[in-house]
């Protein structure tokens, strides 16, 4: 090759490289699955796993017509969502945990729904007051609640009978009795554990234990952490002692990890668990996978013997900069109105009847819907544990409390959860761990509130 | 075998003159033309973001609102943050265990491969295969294989009468467990050692054997010095990788809501904490300051390694 050709080849190669580098950097939205136009309602964090979703989606689609629906694949991804808001290309609607509302509202990532509620004439009184409180930040509503998750004590009757333990011993009202009952229910210890006596569900249910001890870990305005309060320390010390009885966190957690939580061979079916506070939706899991289990559901009680219920759930919210806010608003209304819930419940009842499985109710943020589902569609299954379970889940709703919307909800949650984990793994005492958590949480709250 | 080759290095001025003189040749221009994509990539995708990250480290920035200048506040917070100390401590302990373990296992495997003979190709592939396992899968496998009650490892230990620890929940055993899991993927390091071992001249072993050197003496006085260049290279690279460890521990302990709920401080590596600050809490300024602290730590450790290790490294044939 002559010198001239060499130079030409060099220049061509060089130019091609530059074109490759800079030409390829143009953003192609369609390639990343972010294709959007004015006639499409894009939703992040929502899927259609069952008839409760699909039936309502079909109805809501009619409410937003002629706009089309685009469900962004996968669960709600905080990072992806905030990046899209920052880039000015958010989805039209998000579906997420209600506990995140305060954080996003404080950052201006979601919009207040004042106009939406007024223009679509959404009756906010149909929703449960505690759920609405969870999505209210600085006096303004930022979300429309969907499901309503309660927490009650699930009891394995077989284990209780064999250990001669009474139901009232494990409802949380008397901590000494609970401690003794847990020891009686337990089988084995440490690495040989074969049945957990009473699982306090730490770290997740720490706020419930603090509440049972008469204390809320976050102030009502969501701005002051109250983690190092003696009552919070006492609650954590007690709940942790229930795990220590089993030979420590290592064996306890390793054993619990082996449980087939969502399967037919779950801890109740295999007699591997005496009792534990669990979420309301687990009754549905048990009904579907192991309807033969012998269980009782009782309200979790505080130390004064009164029922308490930590309620959480998901919410719809509209991101700042969403293109189709009118459709988003219509969608939220259509998905959460009682007619939609009842239609969805009817479809579920039909499916369950076909499979000879018990219907365990539907627990939503819409109290009218729940009432109508119970009155019109619910029939006793004849399985005592499940029928009484439904009664308990309905009853505890009036004893609900929620965590207030906080401007640093995510950081606050991380702070107390990490503290409990440090206690569980033996790295810190409850007092030291909660002192550190208090510092971390309050610093985050101070930063968030400026 | 002794190895000492004194070289007289030119001064900085002479080196600069020699570098500038190179531009008189067409080959130098051609070389730079071929290097251009890398140089541009470095400028736009490495040094550019580095500068941006330094600027951001002096701000409070949450992506959604414009950055606000806070001076050295983020660096001051770093010094007071107990989780920064904890995560740095975790990372250093993990690296100190990981690097020698990886080097020892990789070297042992490379030496076995050297002696396998005809089946070498097959075993080379088998030993290298775990390297192909995605780190995310390794993280999930960790939870399954190292479960204190039902994990395969503890069952094997139990079979020989040793009660296994709770690898995934006991804070004292979390890091050793992760090291064991990481050592599983030593294929890359092993291949480097294998290549280095194949380059050791046979006559050196023959001469040592004739002098009556035992197998251990031959390994210590011939093999190790002759592959010291490869050992030094992997030492540096593995240390940097150890200090930047993320994926396996993140997947096992922080990857989803379920694992995050039980995440142990013992597995909180520095880069994981940095990631949490940046993408979970949107403290971009603070995370940038954390990134610069890590850069500094890695740079200091690498410089110390280079200074100390260079005395032990021997390059055969260098003058």
Chain B from 277 to 306: CB within 8 A of any A CB: 279-282
Cβ separation A86–B63 shorter than 8 A:
yes
The pLDDT tens digits for B2-30 are: 444 445 667 888 888 888 888 888 899 99
Average pLDDT of B44-60? 94
Taking CA–CA distances from B30, the nearest residue in chain A reads A10
- Chain A's closest residue to B258, CA to CA, is A204
* Model pTM score: 0.80
Taking CA–CA distances from A445, the nearest residue in chain B reads B281
pLDDT for residue B111: 92
Query: B74 in contact with A at a CB cutoff of 8 Å?
Result: no
Query: Can you tell me the distance from the alpha carbon of A393 to that of B20, in angstroms, rounded to the nearest whole number?
Result: 81
Residue pLDDT, tens place only, A229-272: 999 999 999 999 999 999 989 889 888 988 899 999 999 999 99
The tokens describing A323, both together, are 């293109």
This complex has an ipTM of 0.74
B147: chain A residues, CB-CB within 8 Å: 254, 257-258
What lies within 8 Å, CB to CB, of A143 at 6+ separation is A98, A101, A110, A113, A134, A135, A315, A316, A317
- Rounded to the nearest angstrom, the minimum Cα separation between B209 and chain A is 52
Given a cut of 50, is residue A101 above it in pLDDT?
yes
Interchain CB contact of B275 with A (< 8 Å) = no
Distance (Å, whole) CA A100 – CA A94: 11
Q: Which residues in chain B touch residue A14, judged by CB atoms under 8 angstroms apart? A: 33, 36
Spatial distance between the Cα atoms of B154 and B166, rounded to a whole number of angstroms: 9
Omega before A31 within 30 of 0, i.e. cis: no
CB A313 within 8 A of CB A95: no
A161 secondary structure, DSSP code: H
Rounded to a whole number of angstroms, the distance between the first and last alpha carbons of chain B is 16
pLDDT-based confidence at residue A37 (cuts at 50, 70, 90): low
**What are the residues of chain A with a beta carbon less than 8 Å away from any beta carbon of chain B?**
10, 13-14, 17-18, 21, 78-79, 82-83, 85-86, 107-109, 191, 193, 203-204, 249-251, 253-255, 257-258, 410-411, 414, 417-418, 421-422, 425-427, 436, 440, 444, 447
A43-75: per-residue pLDDT in tens? 999 988 789 999 999 999 999 999 999 999 888
Q: What is the mean pLDDT of residues B291-305?
A: 95
Instruction: Return the number of other C-beta atoms located less than 10 Å from residue A19's C-beta.
Output: 10
**What is the per-residue pLDDT for A382?**
86
How far apart CA B96 and CA A319 sit, in angstroms, is 46
What's the whole-number average pLDDT of chain B?
Answer: 88
């Amino acid at each position: 090759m002559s010198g001239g050709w060499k130079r030409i080849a060099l220049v061509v190669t060089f130019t091609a490289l530059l074109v490759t580098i800079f030409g390829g950097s143009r953003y192609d939205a369609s390639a990343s699955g972010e294709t959007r136009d004015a006639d499409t309602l894009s939703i992040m964090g929502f899927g259609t796993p069952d008839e409760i979703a699909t039936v309502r989606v079909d109805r809501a689609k009619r409410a937003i017509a002629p706009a089309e629906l685009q469900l962004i694949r996968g669960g709600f991804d905080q990072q992806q969502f905030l990046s899209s808001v920052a880039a000015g290309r958010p989805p039209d609607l998000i579906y997420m945990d209600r506990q995140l509302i305060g954080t996003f509202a404080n950052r201006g990532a979601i919009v207040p729904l004042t106009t939406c509620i007024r223009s679509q004439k959404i009756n906010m009184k149909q929703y449960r007051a505690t759920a609405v409180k969870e999505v209210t930040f600085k006096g303004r509503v930022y979300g429309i609640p969907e499901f309503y998750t309660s927490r009650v004590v699930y009891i394995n009757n077989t284990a209780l009978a064999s250990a001669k333990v009474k139901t009232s011993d494990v409802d949380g009202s008397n901590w000494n009795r609970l401690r003794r009952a847990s020891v009686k229910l337990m089988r084995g210890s440490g690495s040989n554990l074969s049945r957990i006596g009473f699982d306090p569900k730490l770290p997740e249910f720490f706020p419930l234990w603090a509440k049972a001890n008469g204390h809320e870990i976050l102030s009502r305005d969501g701005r002051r952490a109250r983690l190092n309060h003696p009552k919070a320390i006492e609650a954590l010390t007690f709940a942790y002692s229930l795990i220590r009885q089993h030979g420590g966190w290592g064996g306890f957690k390793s054993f619990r990890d082996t449980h087939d939580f969502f399967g037919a061979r779950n801890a109740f079916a295999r007699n591997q668990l005496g009792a534990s506070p669990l979420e309301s939706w687990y009754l549905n899991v048990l009904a579907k996978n192991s309807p033969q289990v012998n269980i009782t559901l009782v309200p979790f009680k505080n130390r004064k013997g009164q029922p308490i219920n930590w309620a959480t759930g998901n919410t719809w919210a509209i991101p700042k900069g969403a293109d189709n806010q009118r459709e988003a608003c219509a969608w939220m209304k259509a998905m959460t109105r009682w007619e939609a819930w009842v239609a969805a419940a009817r479809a579920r009842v039909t499916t369950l009847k076909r499979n000879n499985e018990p219907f365990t109710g539907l627990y939503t943020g819409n109290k009218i819907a729940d009432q109508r589902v119970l009155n019109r569609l619910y029939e006793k299954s004849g399985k005592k544990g499940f029928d009484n379970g439904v009664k308990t889940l309905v009853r505890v709703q009036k004893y609900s409390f929620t965590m207030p919307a906080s401007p640093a909800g995510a950081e606050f949650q991380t702070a107390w959860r990490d503290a409990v984990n440090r206690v569980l793994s033996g790295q810190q005492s409850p007092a030291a761990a909660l002192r550190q958590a208090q510092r971390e949480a309050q610093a985050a709250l101070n930063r968030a509130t400026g | 075998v002794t190895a000492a080759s004194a070289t007289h290095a030119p001064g900085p001025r002479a080196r600069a003159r020699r570098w500038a003189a190179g531009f008189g040749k067409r080959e130098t221009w051609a070389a730079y033309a071929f290097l251009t994509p890398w140089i541009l990539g470095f400028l736009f995708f490495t040094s550019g973001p580095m500068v941006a990250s330094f600027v951001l480290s002096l701000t409070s920035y949450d992506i959604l609102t414009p950055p606000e200048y806070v001076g050295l506040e983020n660096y001051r917070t770093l010094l007071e943050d107990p989780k920064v100390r904890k995560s740095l401590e975790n990372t250093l302990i993990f690296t100190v265990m990981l690097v020698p373990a990886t080097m020892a296992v990789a070297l042992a495997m490379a030496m076995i491969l050297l002696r396998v003979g005809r089946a070498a190709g097959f075993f080379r592939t088998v030993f290298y295969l775990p390297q192909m396992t995605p780190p995310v899968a390794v993280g999930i496998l960790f939870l399954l294989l190292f479960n204190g009650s039902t994990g395969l490892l503890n069952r094997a230990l139990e079979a020989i009468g040793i009660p296994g620890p709770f690898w995934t929940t006991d804070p004292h055993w979390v890091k050793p467990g992760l090291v064991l899991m990481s050592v599983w993927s030593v294929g890359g390091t092993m291949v480097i050692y294998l290549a280095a071992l194949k380059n050791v001249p046979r006559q050196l072993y023959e001469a040592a054997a004739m002098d009556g050197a035992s197998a251990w003496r031959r390994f210590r006085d011939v093999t190790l010095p002759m592959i010291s260049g490869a050992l030094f290279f992997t030492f540096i690279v593995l240390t940097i990788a150890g200090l930047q460890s993320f994926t396996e521990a993140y997947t096992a302990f922080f990857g989803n809501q379920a694992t995050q709920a039980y995440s142990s401080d013992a597995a909180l590596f520095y880069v994981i904490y940095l990631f949490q600050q940046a993408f979970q809490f949107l403290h971009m300024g603070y995370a940038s300051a954390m990134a610069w602290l890590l850069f500094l730590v890695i740079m200091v450790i690498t410089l110390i390694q280079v200074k100390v290790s260079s005395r032990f490294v021997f390059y055969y044939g260098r003058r």
